[in-house]
Amino acid sequence: MRHRVPGAAVLAALTLCVPAVAAPRDAAEAKMVAAVEADHARNVKLLETLVLVNSGTMNLAGVEQVGRMLTPEFEQLGFTVRWVPMAKVGRAGHLIATHKGNGKGKRMLLIGHLDTVFEPDSPFQGWKRTGDIVEGPGVGDMKGGDVVIVAALRAMHAAGTLKTADITVVLTGDEEKPGEPLADARADLIAAAKVSDVALDFEGLSQSGGQDIGSIARRSSTSWTITATAKSGHSSGVCKPSAGCGAIYELARIVDAFRVELPEPNLTYNVGLIVGGTSAELNAGDTGGGATGKPNVIAAQAIARGDIRTLSPEQEERVRAKMQAIVGRHLDKAQAELEFSDDGYPPMAPTEGNKALLSKLNEVNATLGLPQMPAGDPANRGAGDISFVAFIDGLVGMGMAGEGSHAPGETADLKSLDRQAKRAALLMTRLSKESRPKR
């Protein structure tokens, strides 16, 4: 079989599919790229060491140990590191590292967390490597992201660009299960954001079909509770004017009306738990409950727990109002109350500032010869700490790519470690040269 030589049109089409490799802007950028590559084995070893220490949120000693392990990594780069105990909210604490630059460029806040969802009693422990895929508790969410932070800062230090950069790193110790009250648990993060101009969140990199995705938004997470009460009595009179339909029917009416009337773009609504009967109650952690009753007795109490996820504060307010209106349309002889938790995660809307940050990241991608990263669907990301600081421009997903987050078998792709560290180092260096906004 003879092979034809592609014509000019075909060659042009093929060229469009392959990202052009652009040279770094200067010697410092080239040095950062080289430094990340040279440190690969060192960074992988740091990741392994961190993963081998259990730091489930409620393993306070383990969370603090991971903080101690990362402290020298920042100190040797010229950061001032402090540990903020969080005993008042029932958690281990936060690591905060601060680097003072020349006071001219944009001030950056790097966000990560020390804890994982895997407590000491989880059977999923240890470290396993198969080629470039590593498996272990929290390897992607988010010890991999913590290592990307360190690797990027090391590269900046090697190239001499870190010395002029103003950077604060906040690694919370309770991202997976925040302490209460949430206002106290996130006070230090919010305070750091108030003296910063840009936030970069190093949770896992989003991908779709093998393509890296930029994340400029994430939705809220707000839990709610409905408590329905009604007149009880013999079931022979159920739904008759003298007795009414009971609390379970009232609750069923409400949640089905939610299903029918609430849907709109970027909103999800979930009912996670229902109990009802002659009596009903939830347990202390709202993770279960109990009820009493008989088939021939009209239910007097019913309780439902669930959550809503929205993309903006305006959507959150609108959806809450619609839910309250639905709850208020009571069945005869029944009542119901809807309460929203005050410890939810706020939304991070896709602002113009966030879009501009992604554009700057794509300029870095062009420099590195990497494909452009489109903005991803916020519905594909869970809630996270960066949402508390959405009053400044931000990007999410600066950490490692992986699969199976929050589940046994969680993995991370080591090929993404270098890629993400290079992106972060160049982006932070360029931001450090931009004039900070006047306030």
Which residue ranges form the domains of the chain, and what is each CATH number?
18-218+346-432 (3.40.630.10), 222-340 (3.30.70.360)
Could you tell me what percent of the chain has a pLDDT over 70? 94
Joined tokens for residue 67: 């903080």
Sequence length of the chain is 439
Paired with 86 in beta bridges are 91
Q: Is 69 exposed, middle or buried (0-12, 13-18, 19+ CB in 10 A)?
A: middle
Contact assessment for residue 196 and residue 271, using Cβ atoms and an 8 Å cutoff? no
Q: Is 362 exposed, middle or buried (0-12, 13-18, 19+ CB in 10 A)?
A: middle
- Counting as low any pLDDT under 70, the low residues of the chain are 1-24, 439
What string of DSSP letters covers 283-310? -TTSS-EEEE--TTB---EEEEEEEEE-
Residues 6+ apart with CB under 8 A from 168: 96, 97, 98, 99, 107, 108, 109, 110, 192, 195, 196
DSSP structure class, residue 35: H
Residue 353 has a CB neighbour count (10 Å cut-off) of: 15
Joined tokens for residue 101: 């630059």
Paired with 108 in beta bridges are 167, 198
Helices (H), 100-208: 144-159, 182-185, 187-194
Residue for token pair 């619609």: 322
Joined tokens for residue 126: 């240890």
Per-residue pLDDT at 204: 96
Per-residue pLDDT at 23: 65
C-alpha angle with apex 225: 222 to 230, nearest 5 degrees?
A: 160
Distance, CA of 374 to CA of 381 (rounded, Å): 15
pTM, two decimal places: 0.86
Residues 6+ apart with CB under 8 A from 141: 116, 117, 203, 204, 402, 405, 406, 410
Paired with 385 in beta bridges are none
Choose among 199, 195, 196, 191: nearest CA to 215: 199
DSSP structure class, residue 169: E
Residues 6+ apart with CB under 8 A from 1: none
Contact assessment for residue 137 and residue 61, using Cβ atoms and an 8 Å cutoff? no
The number of CA neighbours under 13 Å toward the Cβ of 364 is 24
Report the amino acid identity of residue 378: P
Q: What is the CA radius of gyration of the chain?
A: 26
Q: Is the dihedral angle over the CA atoms 100, 109, 394, 39 positive or is it negative?
A: positive
Per-residue pLDDT at 379: 81
